Amino acid sequence: MEGKYRAAIIGVGAAVSSGKKGGNHQIGYTHAVAYQGNPRVELESGADINENNLKAFQHKFSVEKGFADYQVMLKQTQPDLVSICTYVGQHHPMIVAAAQDGVKGILCEKPFVGSPAALKEVHRVVRETGVKIQVCHIRRYLPAFMRARDLYQSGAVGEPLMCIAGIAGWDLSEWGSHWLDMFRFFHNDQPVRWVFGQARVRGLHGYGHAMEEHAVAYIEFDGGGKGILDGGMAMNGPWTMTLVGTRGTIRIEREDTLEIDNAAGRKTEKFSSDYRQIWQHLVADLLDWIEGGPEPVTGFTSMAKSAELNLAAYISALRGDRVDLPLGDADQQINEWPVELLARRSTSGQ
């Protein structure tokens, strides 16, 4: 164990996954497998408010130290690495506590933070402590998505016009945050100029917060490319996502197949989608960053912008107006999950 990074997980996950929208998943197990697959890491501890879930996790991964209170765990075990696998509204205080207790690296689940004010606070903590934060937008590591970006930006289908995706039965945050991040990825992380958002919010709750029944985000990048994400309805038949250029299209099926249509005809390319390997890559990149290497593609500098875009789509729905980015001072003062504000407005009849 000497010389290894000591890792801990906050929010270990359910003993039995529901597999359904709303919560009760096992993402902490995925983090545990990734840590235990890296010879430079020792998974030492876990924290969860659910005693049965915690015991099941400890037994599954032979983790000796378990805690009901994550702050006690941080103080007593002083981990080098922490995974935050709880619901979005809990991320911000956990990030602050971990950073202030000397944690070197944080792997945080998405959506990243629950409000613009929380995002602003995390920026401050990163500046003051130097903590390295990765957000688990792991599709940036998938070969099919990397190939699609390279084709889209190299002119294989002409000038980039539009990224289109729809998510049947889901939302703009718990699942949609991945696709908004992919829109940024496909546009080489160019700054977002603006976002229009609209949402139908009734009484739906999940993951510890209000959720929309249906929402749409429409965005524009500095280079002129755009994106449309339908959080609720599928848009592309069998396709996960479609990238439209001036002279063709790239369709992504599942997360391992591309169909390219351009002047040369139609071509299909297939790729590996080994998620275990991808998670290993994520952990290795974090360790290399801590040791002085470059910031990974899922590092805080970029991921903060994906989080801002996600929040801005809801703020646009709340305002009934376009939101220009970066967020202004007034919007950065919002200290609550914007969908909660939309839900209260819906129930009040306003």
For residue 113, the model assigns a pLDDT of 98
Q: Which of 44, 27, 43 is nearest to 35 (CA)?
A: 43
Distance of alpha carbon 318 from alpha carbon 295, whole angstroms:
34
Topology, domain 139-271: Dihydrodipicolinate Reductase; domain 2 (3.30.360)
Q: Going residue by residue through the chain, which has 350 residues, state the pLDDT in tens, using 9 for 90 and above.
A: 458 999 999 999 887 776 666 666 789 999 999 999 999 999 999 999 999 999 999 999 999 999 999 999 999 999 999 999 999 999 999 999 999 999 999 999 999 999 999 999 999 999 999 999 999 999 999 999 999 999 999 999 999 999 999 999 899 999 999 999 999 999 999 999 999 999 999 989 989 899 999 999 999 999 999 999 999 998 767 889 999 999 999 999 999 999 999 999 999 999 998 999 999 999 999 999 999 999 999 999 999 999 999 999 999 999 999 999 999 999 999 999 999 999 998 776 55
φ/ψ bin of 193: left (φ > 0), alpha (ψ from -120 to 50), beta (otherwise): alpha
Q: Which of 269, 263, 197, 274 is nearest to 230 (CA)?
A: 197
Distance of alpha carbon 23 from alpha carbon 18, whole angstroms:
7
Element (H, E) at 280: helix 275-290
For residue 19, the model assigns a pLDDT of 66
Q: What are the tokens at 79?
A: 């981990």
Give me the residues paired with residue 218 across strands: 196, 228
Please calculate the CA angle 44-46-50 and round it to the nearest 5 degrees. Answer: 155
Four-residue CA torsion sign, 232, 207, 297, 126 = positive
* Inter-CA distances, 333 with 118, 197, 209, Å: 9, 19, 19
- Per the CB < 8 A criterion, the answer to whether 324 and 220 are in contact is no
**pTM given for the model:** 0.94
Q: Are strands 81-84 and 65-67 parallel, antiparallel or unpaired?
A: unpaired
Topology, domain 5-138+278-299: Rossmann fold (3.40.50)
Domain 5-138+278-299 and domain 139-271, same fold? Reply is: no
Contacts of 265 (CB under 8 A, 6+ apart): none
Q: How many alpha carbons fall within 13 Å on the CB side of residue 255?
A: 13
| Domain ranges, ordered by start, for the chain | 5-138+278-299, 139-271
Element (H, E) at 248: strand 248-253
Distance of alpha carbon 224 from alpha carbon 192, whole angstroms:
10
* Inter-CA distances, 5 with 42, 73, 126, 159, 291, Å: 6, 16, 20, 45, 11
